[in-house]
Structure 1
Amino acid sequence: MASWRRILGGAAAALTAAAMGTVLQAAPAGASPASGDGIVSPSVVGGSQAAQGEFPFMVRLSMGCGGALYSPTIVLTAAHCVSRTGTNTSITATMGVVDLNSSSKITRKSNYVYRAPGYNGSGKDWALIRLSSPVTGLATLPIATNTTYDTGTFTVAGWGAAREGGAQQRYLLKATVPFVDDATCNSSAMYDGEVIPSDEICAGLVQGGVDTCQGDSGGPMFRRDAANAWIQVGIVSWGEGCARPNKPGVYTQVSYFASAIQSAASSLGG
């Protein structure tokens, strides 16, 4: 399943450039997919540009992933975006802007990474990155602690590719995707039993056309709660290609791991 992950492992340098603010143009029409088997990772396909300040909790990570500001010192992302638990000062987090080239962007270096215990490439796809100093003036994104909000229509956002095999984006894109129930997502027409019902949640259109894509890994899937505030229900994890018919995005089901995430964040001082 590793080849389905929504990160461009072979293009890490380009992704780092994007996160550090270098302008990356969209790939020309007809560009080939990133991997030889045609299976690539996620960015937002079929989306539109987010407004400045619309999603202040969004984070771009220098290894080519996304994330969400869980607390002023903690970023929640995907386990497959990081290599291990331990001291790590190599990751740069960029926040506070839609345009990665903006002079108003906020950046922080990492000082520690916590990867979900037992992660082996299938399920348990979450991780925490502790920042070297707190971020002030930006809203954080609360996580769902039960399944109340695990259905309905969700919002996804990221700086990943706007089409399968495309380049990373300079501007944050957003889209909405509907929930797909476990039985449908695991049917022979879709993922044929590959999805882990307890760990993962599917979202996307049966006809395709809207999805996360390569470079969106680790970013949040979120919706409004009963108080009309944003709440995170998923983490961009994997999918077959981007926005293909009958291949919705597969996301880490945050509510299932909420207590473990909260406990780990607390241990990191967040």
Structure 2
Amino acid sequence: MSPTHILTAAHCVAHMSSWDVSRLTVELGMHVLKPSSDAQVSKKVRRVTRHKGFDSRTLYNDIAILTMESPVFFTSTISPVCLPPEGSNDQYTNKDAAVIGWGALKEGGSQPTVLQQVTVQVITNDKCKSSYGSDAPGGIVDHMLCAAYPGKDSCSGDSGGPLLVQSSPGSPWIQAGIVSWGIGCAQAKYPGVYARVTSFMNWIGKNTV
């Protein structure tokens, strides 16, 4: 993906009007959210592309692309996250994965002021289906990815953020998922559910040219 595009969740932008999009910005190199942003670069968003198959009830196809008005130049505080290799069908099963965001630190908790990171582990979709049972609104489907770790999870406010993996220590970060949904936060029965990026590579390619 060129440095003018960012992946996010479709449900985060589902109700945006053209007026909302015209006021939307991407803040880069940011570490502190409140009381004042320390973003290094601010970019206006030129276009929001939401997957046409997005379903707000089941959260199927929960992916969107933010296209910024100009390219991003990388610095010591702003660096890229890579897409999975073209043609990859890596399931990332049992891989440690990092989630980064300003979401609540616990279910029902307050929002932090400093960017947080948590490490979870990718599990199989079969295990995820078994855990959720009939509680998943549309079931756990192939284009979803689940990750969990005792006492750790993404939470409210992390939606649309990245789930990142590395093939080996020191290698480039790859975006394996996009924070999508879950029941509660860090509940043993309910892993975090993410949009599986490898399932959308053709769609991403068609919408970032």
Name the TM-score class by shorter chain.
0.7 to 0.9
1:255 and 1:214 map into 2 onto residues whose CA distance is: 24
What does residue 166 of structure 2 align with? 224
Letter in 2 for 1:150: Y
Instruction: Give, in angstroms, the shift of residue 85 of structure 1.
Output: 8.8
Aligned residue for 1:192, secondary structure, equals helix
TM, length-normalised to structure 2: 0.84
Q: Quick one: distance in 2 between partners of 1:107 and 1:244?
A: 36
Match 1:95 to one of 22, 28, 31? 28
2-structure distance, mates of 1:264, 1:84: 20
Alignment equivalent of 1:243, drawn from 174, 182, 186: 186
Within-5 A mapping of 1:42-57 = none
* 1:260 is aligned to 2:203: yes
Q: Report the count of equivalent residues.
A: 193
Distance 1:191 1:199 in 2: 16
Aligned amino acid, residue 114 of structure 1 = T
State which drifts further: 250-259 or 147-156.
Answer: 147-156
Which SS does the other structure have where 1:251 is aligned?
Answer: strand
1:109 matched to 2:51? The reply is no
| Range with greater deviation from structure 2 (249-258 or 195-204) | 195-204
Q: Which segments of 5 or more consecutive residues in structure 2 lack a partner in the other structure?
A: none
What secondary structure sits across from 1:259 in the alignment? helix
TM-score by length of 1: 0.66
Show the counterpart of 2:12: 81
Seen in structure 2, the aligned counterparts of structure 1 residues 147 and 86 have a Cα distance that, compared at 3 Å, is farther
Q: Are residues 1:173 and 2:106 paired?
A: no
Q: 1:160 aligns with which of 103, 107, 112?
A: 103
Q: CA RMSD in A?
A: 2.0
User: 1:45-72: CA deviations, max 9, x gaps?
Assistant: xxxxxxxxxxxxxxxxxxxxxxxxx532
